[in-house]
Structure 1
Amino acid sequence: MADTSRVTLAEIAAEAGVSLATMSKVLNGRTDVSPATRARLEEHLARHGYQRRTSAQRSEFVELVFHELEPIWSMEVIEGVEDVAHAAGLSVVLTVSGDRHSPAPDWIDGVLRRRPVGVVLVFSDLEARYREKLRSRGIPFVIVDPAGDPSPDVPSVGSANWSGGLMATRHLIELGHHRIAAITGPEDMMCSLARVDGYRSAMNAAGLPIDPELIRFGDFHPGGGEHHGRELLALPDPPTAIFAGSDLQALGVIAAGSAAGLRVPDDLSVVGYDDIALSRWMSPQLTTVHQPLRRMGEEATRLALRLADGATADTLRMDLATHLVVRDSSAPPPPR
C-alpha cells in the first residue's frame, strides 16, 4: 500500500487522470460525476488508503440505519445507540433504507455527504464497494445483529442465537412437551437458521423426533406467527408447544391459539424470542429468550466511536449472551 502520510489528493487525482475539482466532488458525495469516473476514483482512493484525518471535516453525529422501523423492536436498539452517542456529546440521525440484506444504492452517496462520525447498521452485511467507500473517507461502520454472515473484516455485534433456540426448546422439553413446533424467521437470515438449529439440537439431545412439518420459516411479525400458528394447530397431530423466533411472532401464535379455542398455557405453551417490553404486558406474560437489543446498540456504537478515534478493535465480531426468562405462557402439556 502507498505511504498514506505523503500521498496528496492532487497526486491521486493526477494518477486517476481527473481534475482536483472532480476529486473534490467525489469526496463530498456530489451526484454530478459519472458512475465510471466515481468508481475509478474510489478505486484509487482505496488503493492509497486515503482517509480524512480531522474531526472538523465530519458532522458530530452517529448515523443509525435500518431497513424497516418496527416500533417495538427497533426502539430497543435506538435507545442503546442514543445512550452511548449522547454520552460522547453526539446526536443520532436515523435512516431507513434498502432491505434486510443491505442499504439501497443511493444511501452511500448520502452518507458520504453527511459524513457522520460513525455508522451503525441493522443489516446482514454491507457490500464490498460500500465498505471501501466508507473506509476511504474514514467513516467507521458496525453492523448490529447481522441477519447473514458478514465478511470477516466487517465489525459486528450480534447475540447467541443458537443458544437461545436451545434454551427455549429445552425449557419446553423439561416441562414435558414432546410435540414442539418452531416458527423462526426468514430462511435467508443467519439468525433464523441459528435459532432453529438450537431447537433441533435440543430435540436431538432429548431423543425426540424432529418432524419437518413442525418447522416453519416466518417473517418475525405477528401476521406470520398467526398464519403459521393456525396451520400448525390445524394438523391432525398438532403441537402442544410452539417456540416462536420473535416475541411479535409469539403474539400471532397466541392469537391463532385463541381462534382455535385453545388457552395459553393450559392447552398450548408458547415461548418467544427477544424479550421486548411488550412481552411483560401481554396476557399471559410471555416466556421468552432475552436478546440484549439495547446493549447490542450500545456496544456497536462504542465500537464505531473507538474506530473513529483510530483505535484497533480487539475483535471485530462480538456475540452477546442470551438467557431464558420464564413467565406465564409456558406450562406442562395437557393430559392426553
Structure 2
Amino acid sequence: MAAREVDAEQAPQDGGRVTITEIARQAGVSVPTVSRVVNGRSDVSPHTRARVEDLLRRHGYRRRPTTSATRAALLDLVFNSLDSPWAVEIIRGVEEAAHTAGVGTVVSAIHGRSGGAREWMRNLRARASDGVILVTSALEPLLYEELRILGVPLVIVDPAGSPALDAPTIGAANWSGGMAATEHLLALGHRRIGLIAGPPRLLCSRARLDGYRTALESAGLTLDDTLVVPGDFHPESGFTGCNALLDLPDPPTAVFAASDQMALGAIEALRRRGLRVPEDMSVVGFDDVPEVRWSAPPLTTVRQPLADMGKLAVRTVLRLARGEQPDSPRVELGTELVVRSSTAPAS
C-alpha cells in the first residue's frame, strides 16, 4: 500500500468527526493545502502548517486507512542507537520479513545527537512511510501526536515505558528470563548472586530485576541490595559493575548480567584480576547474541527471540497498514535459558 494523498472531499471521519474540508475552512486555507499537511508534504509554509496541525490535533483528526489490498511499500525501523549486536539481530528479523513481503526498510537511530527525533520525523513526512516500528525508544508526546495525525501505523518493540497511543507492543518474557537465570545459579549451589542491572527507566530492566528477586525469595533468601549494581547494557558498565561486586567485603560467587554485553564486560574484569570463569565465579548473560557462543568460555545466557520479535513487528505493522487489527495488542514471546560453559557448581 504505497502512501497516497487523502481525497479531501471524500474523507469524512468515523463517527461523524470533522472532515478535512471543515479543517480547511477553520484554518482559512484551501482543501489541497490541508491535504498536503496531512500527507507530510513539504510545500507548505511553517506558519500555515502550524495552524493546520493545531486544528488537526484539537479535532482529533485521523487519516482514514486505505482499503486497498496492496501491500505497504516502505517501513521505518527506529532505534535509540545501533551500537550493539542486539539491534543487529532485530534488524535481521525485520529485513527478512520485509523482504518476504516486498517492503523496503529505512533504519534510523534517533538519540545520541541533538534533534535526532525531530529530524527523523521530518524525513518520515517527506518519504511518506507506510508504517513505523519503534524499538526501545521514547518519542516526545508531540511527535507521537504527529504520527497519529499522519495516520502512520505504529508498533513498539521492547517498549521503554508505557505504550503511547494504544500502539501494539511486542516484547520478550523478561521476568521469567531473569528468574530462570537466577534459578540456574541457585541450582548450582550459589547463594550470593550478584546482579548487574539494566537502566531502570526500561521495562525490560525492571522485569529482569523482579525475576531475579522472585527467584531469591522463592529459595528463602533475602535480597542483599549491595549485590545489585547499576549498568546500561554496554560492556563498560559490566566491567565496572563486576569490579564493584568483587570489591565487596563478601563478594558473590556468581553474577547475573542483564545483557550479554555486560556479561562480556564482567568476564573481562574477572580476567584482569586473575580470576577464572566459571571456576572462581559463574557468569550468566541475557539476549544470546551470536558472539557469546564464541566467547571464552562460551556464555550461559537467556535467549530472547530478537529476530522473531522483528519479524512479528513487520507482520503486525503491515496488518495495521491494511486497516486490520492485530490478534493481540500486547505480545510477549518466550525466553529460554541456554546453558554453556560459563557456569559451574559453587566451590
| TM-score w.r.t. length of structure 2 | 0.88
In the other structure, the counterpart of 1:16 is 27
Any gaps of 5 or more consecutive residues in structure 2? 1-10
Contact 1:120 1:141 in 2 (8 A): yes
1:42 aligns with 2:56: yes
Q: What is the Cα deviation at residue 52 of structure 1?
A: 5.6
Distance 1:254 1:38, change over 3 A: farther
Q: Secondary structure at the match of 1:104?
A: helix
Letter in 1 for 2:171: G
1:184 aligns with 2:193: no
**What's the C-alpha RMSD, in Å, of the aligned pairs?**
2.6
1:247-258 matches, within 5 Å, as: 247-258=260-271
1:64 aligns with 2:108: no
Q: Secondary structure at the match of 1:231?
A: helix
Distance 1:267 1:124, change over 3 A: same
Letter in 1 for 2:328: T
Please, which of 270, 286, 294 is the counterpart of residue 273 of structure 1? Answer: 286
Please, which of 126, 136, 154 is the counterpart of residue 149 of structure 2? Answer: 136
Contact 1:290 1:324 in 2 (8 A): yes
Any gaps of 5 or more consecutive residues in structure 1? none
Separation (CA, whole Å) in 2 of partners of 1:299 and 1:52: 21
Separation (CA, whole Å) in 1 of partners of 2:292 and 2:180: 17
Report which stretch shifted further, 57-66 or 183-192.
57-66
Q: What is the Cα deviation at residue 116 of structure 1?
A: 1.4
1:145-224 matches, within 5 Å, as: 145-151=158-164, 153-224=166-237
- Offset from partner CA, 1:168-213 (integer Å, 9 cap, x none): 0000000000010001111211111110110000001101121101
Contact 2:24 2:30 in 1 (8 A): yes
- Offset from partner CA, 1:240-298 (integer Å, 9 cap, x none): 00000000000000001111211000000000000000110101000000011000101
1:4 aligns with 2:13: yes
Contact 1:140 1:304 in 2 (8 A): yes
Separation (CA, whole Å) in 1 of partners of 2:206 and 2:314: 26
Distance 1:91 1:33, change over 3 A: same
Percent identical residues:
48
Separation (CA, whole Å) in 2 of partners of 1:124 and 1:63: 13
Separation (CA, whole Å) in 1 of partners of 2:153 and 2:33: 24
Q: Secondary structure at the match of 1:65?
A: strand
Separation (CA, whole Å) in 1 of partners of 2:126 and 2:142: 17
Separation (CA, whole Å) in 2 of partners of 1:124 and 1:19: 36
| TM-score w.r.t. length of structure 1 | 0.91
The alignment of Structure 1 onto Structure 2 pairs a total of residues equal to 331
